Amino acid sequence: MSEDSKISKAQQKAVNKYVKNNYDRINVTFPKGQKEKLKEHAQKQNESVNAFIVRSVSETMERDNQNKK
């Protein structure tokens, strides 16, 4: 990593504060081997694993709510 791309402690502290104030954290566990499958699938969709999981949960909740009407 070059000197220009290093994050200072103050910058990291600011990022951590922002994340704490704006996001909920959820620890999710998957069966062994699933992590690589998730990574590969997310890459194919041009998104991060986190974005893929958030989208998947949101779409499933929306679909489930539609089915209840």
Task: Give the Cα separation of 2 and 21 in Å (integer).
Answer: 30
Query: pTM here?
Result: 0.74
CA distances from 22 to 16, 18, 38, 62, 68 (A): 10, 6, 25, 22, 30
Each residue's pLDDT tens digit, 20-58 = 999 999 999 999 999 999 999 999 999 999 999 999 999
